[in-house]
Structure 1
């Protein structure tokens, strides 16, 4: 049965409220087939003109070594000593890393539309993953902008990393963090 054929026991509202960013994963591998199925759900994100301005690079299994090495090479010598081994070990414990890439349109309006679409795709992916018991954390670290990292992972000219998703089965789920009620942030303009 595909994800599109499955029915979530709760409502979409429950799914949205229950999803958490997961940073601690157990060692269970995540199948490529499941990740592809999740991406095939995620690509239904709204996008202007059906431009579908995204592509993906998946690192799992031994591929995580190349990903961790690419990240570490962006560190200064001092940061490699301070943080390098710890970060490398963490990256190797995460079952899968998904680089989500956007084609950058030189026109600002289209760029903004495309960025919004890729962000919607990432949220779709996170929700679909959560429904399947997978945890995700969406990261936007400094190495996302480093030319060395871009070169190592195959980012082409005219592309932007919108996020790196660390994916796996949760070892623990963090507690709910409260949100401000929308009413506190809403300005209503209505005719008399």
Structure 2
């Protein structure tokens, strides 16, 4: 990602933020600028939404989500950090237009990618068996 491309993304993000937070303090805007200046790469993931059948459209989106997860796993295996961000920004018409989203596309994620300065400690997790239901 070039510095120019990142600067363009940041300005589009700030425009989204200000549209949705008109009373935002300059300090908060500068916090976002500072944060994004430290993220080496940003990647917007898009999914086609062409199919008339909602089941097929949902399956297509699930496939893109699986691709993103696999990309994260591959990156993490190489020591590359990757955070999957979503939320209101992905549905904002102004941001979609600014980013050149086509009529037959939707955003799936914005990935923040880079080598972490420090690796956080692993959190304790629930056992998968406690989250699954066995069908008998």
TM-score, shorter chain, exceeding 0.5: yes
**Counterpart-to-counterpart distance in 2, 1:106 and 1:177:** 42
**Counterpart-to-counterpart distance in 1, 2:77 and 2:129:** 28
> Secondary structure of 2:122's match?
coil
- Aligned position for 2:15: 73
Give runs of aligned pairs for residues 22-101 of structure 1, distance below 5 A. 59-75=1-17, 76-79=21-24, 81=26, 83-101=28-46
Q: TM-score, normalised by structure 2?
A: 0.88
Query: 2:115 matched to 1:173?
Result: no
> Secondary structure of 1:123's match?
helix
Deviation of 1:77 after TM superposition, in Å, equals 2.3
Q: TM-score, normalised by structure 1?
A: 0.64
Check conservation: 1:60, 1:97, Cα contact below 8 A.
no
Check conservation: 1:138, 1:165, Cα contact below 8 A.
yes
Alignment partner for residue 60 of structure 2, among 114, 122, 136? 114
Query: 2:78 matched to 1:132?
Result: yes
Check conservation: 1:94, 1:166, Cα contact below 8 A.
yes
Check conservation: 1:139, 1:165, Cα contact below 8 A.
yes
> Which stretches of structure 1, 4 residues or more, deviate above 3 A after TM superposition?
none
What value does the CA root-mean-square deviation take over the aligned residues?
A: 1.6
Flag structure 1 segments of 5+ consecutive residues without an equivalent: 1-58
